Amino acid sequence: MYQTKAYSAGSATTPLASTTITRRDPTDHDVQIEILFCGICHSDLHQVRNEWKEVMPTVYPCVPGHEIVGRVTRIGGAVTRFQPGDLAAVGCMVDSDRTCPACKAGLEQFCPNMTLTYNFPDKHLHGVTYGGYSDSIVVDENFVLHVPANLDLAGAAPLLCAGITTYSPMKHWCVTKGRKVGVVGLGGLGHMGVKFAHAFGAHVVVFTTSPKKKDDALRLGADEVVVSRNADEMKKHVGTFDFILDAVAADHDINAYIQLLGRDGNITLVGAPEKPLSVAAFGLIFNRRSLSGSPIGGIPETQEMLDFCGAHNITADVEVIPIQKVNEAYERLAKADVKYRFSIDMASLKSE
């Protein structure tokens, strides 16, 4: 075991602060990574503030962070896929049982024994797992991804959650050329959704509550932008969408979007607001519409997404911050004020 620097939250109401945590020494199949950048996901904020207490209560101290890129510093004796010096990335999962049908299908996100990167029982050290707001992390090589060399690392970090969480449902629901696709909420996930839907050739419409994001939405790849608080603008699109991705982090009226779907249209929730959403049955019944959800993505698909981003030079639009600004960043994230993902430069942790 060894000690490494980190930032943690001590409770739902205290700011994150500098601390030291224990990591395991790499076992035979482990890769040790020096973390260079870690994105700030709205899930970090939900988790730190214990907003998901019904489903995933937070264990304190909590070290968030599941959008990790870095460089390999040490490998275990049996590691074959990485060498010291390689770029490496870790997303929302660090382990699973590898034996269940989901794991065998490369869909580890559905494994009943999957281990999330933070706030999950740690099989090695007991206690809970600690995430990427830290100097280094040790992860089984099967949960470590390769980062295409051409990608900017600060902008690549958010691909590990915001990227895969939007890429995966769009693949599943066949977002391709000729489809009309909506993206609701232009935040970290939403802006990646726009980039992917555009890259897949769809006609992309962004729904935003922030009129000032309109120009950015068009620059990011949207064909149209609708300010969702404007009922007339919404009405024009009733019954026309094949697929809508809902990436909103707060309470909102999902029925307004269900109405916009055409026959057999689907709306997929990736946003995970604290409170339950209410759904009007007839919105779904008419037009045989469907509502579903989607969690992150499996390891093979995450690598596929990273390779796709490498081939198309896609990264997140980031505001790079030192770790000392993390609490300020959380305040801004809560107000939907980020362009469009914070990425923490972990070199800043060395001075703590």
Peptide bond into 61 cis (omega under 30): yes
* Mask for 154-183, x = binds ligand NAP (CB under 6 A): -------xx--x------------------
Contacts of 309 (CB under 8 A, 6+ apart): 148, 151, 156, 159, 163, 315
Q: Which is nearer to ligand NAP, 61 or 185 (CB)?
A: 185
Which CB atom, from 103 or from 336, has the smaller least distance to ligand NAP? Answer: 336
Two tokens, residue 52: 């998901």
Determine, following the binding rule CB under 6 A, whether residue 302 of this chain makes contact with ligand NAP: no
> Taking CB within 5 to 8 Å according to partner kind, which of Zn ion, ligand NAP, none is near residue 347?
none
Picked from ligand NAP, Zn ion, none, the partner binding residue 103 (CB below 5 to 8 A depending on kind) is Zn ion
CA dihedral 277, 209, 188, 6 (to 10 degrees): -80
- Compute the distance between CA of residue 251 and CA of residue 231 in angstroms, rounded to an integer: 18
| Residue selected from 49, 180, 213, 289 as contacting ligand NAP according to rule CB under 6 A | 213
Determine the interface stretch with ligand NAP among 24-32, 93-101, 110-118, 204-212 (rule: CB under 6 A): 204-212
The verdict on 97 binding Zn ion (CB under 5 A) reads yes
CB of 177 to ligand NAP, least distance (A): 25
Which among ligand NAP, Zn ion, none contacts residue 247 (Cβ within 5 to 8 A by kind)?
Answer: ligand NAP
Q: Which of 89, 107, 144, 248 binds ligand NAP (CB under 6 A)?
A: 248
Widest distance between CA atoms in the chain: 63
The stretch near Zn ion (CB under 5 A) out of 39-47, 74-82, 287-295, 303-311 is 39-47
User: Angle 89-108-91 (CA atoms, 0-180°, nearest 5)?
Assistant: 20
Q: Which stretch binds ligand NAP (CB under 6 A): 6-14, 115-123, 135-143, 271-279?
A: 271-279
Among 105, 174, 250, 311, binds ligand NAP (CB under 6 A): 250
Q: Pick from 69, 103, 139, 248: which binds Zn ion (CB under 5 A)?
A: 103
CA-nearest of 290, 298, 190, 166 to 249 is 190
User: Which listed residue (79, 111, 249, 258) binds ligand NAP by CB under 6 A?
Assistant: 249
Q: Which 50-89 positions form the footprint of ligand NAP (CB under 6 A)? A: none
The one segment of 15-23, 100-108, 167-175, 334-342 that binds Zn ion by CB under 5 A: 100-108
Q: Is 10 in the site for ligand NAP (CB under 6 A)?
A: no
Q: Which of Zn ion, ligand NAP, none has residue 96 at its interface (CB below 5 to 8 Å by kind)?
A: Zn ion
Strand partners, 87: 71
Choose, by CB under 6 A, the member of 270, 291, 314, 329 that binds ligand NAP.
270
Name the one range near Zn ion by CB under 5 A: 42-50, 235-243, 306-314, 315-323. Answer: 42-50
> Two tokens at 329?
């960043």
Q: What whole-number distance in Å separates Cα of residue 214 and Cα of residue 209?
A: 10
What's the alpha-carbon Rg for the chain, to the nearest Å? 20
Cis-peptide, bond into residue 257, ω within 30° of zero: no
The span from the CA of 122 to the CA of 139, in Å, is 11
Beta bridge partners of 341: 318
Q: Do residues 126 and 119 touch, judged by C-beta distance below 8 A?
A: no
Which one, of 48, 61, 58, 53, lies nearest residue 20 by Cα?
61
Sign of CA dihedral 124, 18, 89, 40: positive
**189's tokens:** 């996930």
Taking the complex as a whole, how short is the minimal distance between the CB of residue 46 and ligand NAP, in angstroms?
5
Q: What is the residue type of 316? A: A
What is the DSSP-derived secondary structure letter of residue 191? H
Residues that bind Zn ion (CB under 5 A): 41, 43, 96-97, 100, 103, 111, 161
Residues that bind ligand NAP (CB under 6 A): 41-43, 46, 161-162, 165, 185-190, 208-210, 213, 247-250, 252, 270-273, 294-296, 333, 336, 338
